[in-house]
Amino acid sequence: MSTEHLLSPLPLGPLALPNRVVMAPLARQRSQQPGNVPYALNATYYAQRASAGLLISEASQVCPEGQGYAWTPGIHSDAQVAGWTQVTEAVHAAGGRIYLQLWHVGRISHPLLQPDGADPVAPSAIQANAECYVQEADGSHHKAPTALPRALELKELPGVVAAYADGTANALRAGFDGVEVHAANGYLLDQFLCSNSNQRTDAYGGSVENRARLVLEVVDAVVARTGDSQRVGIRISPMGTFGDVHDANPLETFSYLVEQLSTRNLAYLHVNRPDWLGGSFEGFDELLRSLRTLYSGTLILAGGQTAASGEQAIADGLADLVAYGRPYIANADLVERFAQNAALNEPNAATFYGGGAEGYTDYPTLG
């Protein structure tokens, strides 16, 4: 009989995970202003969830240009490092383990979120049919269509790679156990990967090798700065369309990327299912099985998972770890609830983004 179960332990690089339940990265737009700085309330929220095998932080911009929604935390200033240190200390004191997700939104942004009101940057000057979230000078805030971005110049790309490396150094300084490169969900690295958002004619566009170049350079720079590839994970969303990305040949693109990643001995590959917001994506399960065979390391599966489906994915050998997003918003004690087969609280979408403790740290736990 298999000993691999959702609630059985798993080593992850230098970490000993007590279970296979991962808290997926969840943007909650609750950092302190000015400066997008994590604070005590965020520390409480993450520490409440410390029984997860692994926590992955909300996406955190690696540079001011990497921001696409008001009040998301950054990992580029000393104040942010100090704020995140409160978070990692609280999580570790509660017995948990936490990675930081490194983020650059690329074109999913707006001049109101950019330094000096500049246009956001992207692989190509192609506007996404998508929304971001802005705060006006008078303090009012609202959704806004993403702006027309400007194409990054070739000579700017080393600076983008360096921002991820610096974000990594800052995350380690803040006490994180590792970092996850966010290459999913239509943000900058996914914009480079996908054919509809990348129409460059230089070494970073066109062929799959070229479209994957920036992601792999970022991974290599992050690993170099970490000094231990087993403290670096990466998140991808093959076939995903969130953020208005679309790749003409996801099997080819993501097979190449995953083969390349497989040689890098990373802590994990994290795959977000494209159907997490509904819709049907024919061929995704086949693609996932194929990526699984191409990748030799630990795989995290996310998107619409239940205890039963997560257990099944592990039993089928499709995943080693299972990440839960919305269930973790509403159930800090998700591991205990799974262990006891207890009912789950339903998350309230009205309090997902922004605000304070309500809908954040006040969901009831068992007992």
Ligand X SMILES: Cc1cc2nc3c(=O)[nH]c(=O)nc-3n(C[C@H](O)[C@H](O)[C@H](O)COP(=O)(O)O)c2cc1C
Active site residues: 187
What is d(CA 79, CA 86) in angstroms, rounded to the nearest whole number?
Answer: 11
Please choose, from the candidates 121, 228, 216, the residue with its C-alpha nearest in 3D space to the C-alpha of residue 168. 228
The nearest distance, CB 153 to ligand X, in angstroms, is 27
| Residues that contact ligand X, how many (by CB under 6 A) | 22
What is d(CA 333, CA 311) in angstroms, rounded to the nearest whole number?
Answer: 18
x/- contact string, 228-267, with ligand X (CB under 6 A)? -------x--------------------------------
Q: Is 104 in the site for ligand X (CB under 6 A)?
A: no
By C-beta, is 47 or 301 nearer to ligand X?
Answer: 301
What is d(CA 196, CA 141) in angstroms, rounded to the nearest whole number?
Answer: 30
Q: Is 64 in the site for ligand X (CB under 6 A)?
A: no
The nearest distance, CB 197 to ligand X, in angstroms, is 17
Residues 6+ apart with CB under 8 A from 65: 104, 109, 114, 115, 118, 120, 121
By C-beta, is 191 or 205 nearer to ligand X?
Answer: 191
What is d(CA 325, CA 103) in angstroms, rounded to the nearest whole number?
Answer: 17
Please choose, from the candidates 254, 301, 302, the residue with its C-alpha nearest in 3D space to the C-alpha of residue 277. 302
Quick one: which of 64, 304, 354, 355 contacts ligand X (CB under 6 A)? 304
The nearest distance, CB 280 to ligand X, in angstroms, is 15
The nearest distance, CB 259 to ligand X, in angstroms, is 22
Quick one: which of 85, 260, 352, 354 contacts ligand X (CB under 6 A)? 352
What is d(CA 249, CA 266) in angstroms, rounded to the nearest whole number?
Answer: 25
Q: Which two tokens stand for residue 1?
A: 């009989």
x/- contact string, 147-186, with ligand X (CB under 6 A)? -----------------------------------x-xx-
Quick one: which of 22, 26, 87, 257 contacts ligand X (CB under 6 A)? 26
Q: Is 325 in the site for ligand X (CB under 6 A)?
A: yes
x/- contact string, 30-59, with ligand X (CB under 6 A)? ----------------------------xx
Quick one: which of 124, 327, 338, 359 contacts ligand X (CB under 6 A)? 327
- In angstroms and rounded to an integer, the radius of gyration of the C-alpha atoms of the chain is 19
By C-beta, is 177 or 205 nearer to ligand X?
Answer: 177
Quick one: which of 42, 48, 61, 101 contacts ligand X (CB under 6 A)? 101
Please choose, from the candidates 367, 315, 325, the residue with its C-alpha nearest in 3D space to the C-alpha of residue 347. 325
Q: How far is CA 138 from CA 68, 92, 125, 182, 316, in A?
A: 19, 39, 29, 32, 54
Q: Is 305 in the site for ligand X (CB under 6 A)?
A: yes
**CA dihedral over 337, 341, 342, 347, signed as positive or negative:** positive
Which residue's structure tokens are 């490194």? 102
Residues contributing to the site for ligand X (CB under 6 A): 24-27, 58-59, 101, 182, 184-185, 235, 272, 276, 302-305, 324-327, 352
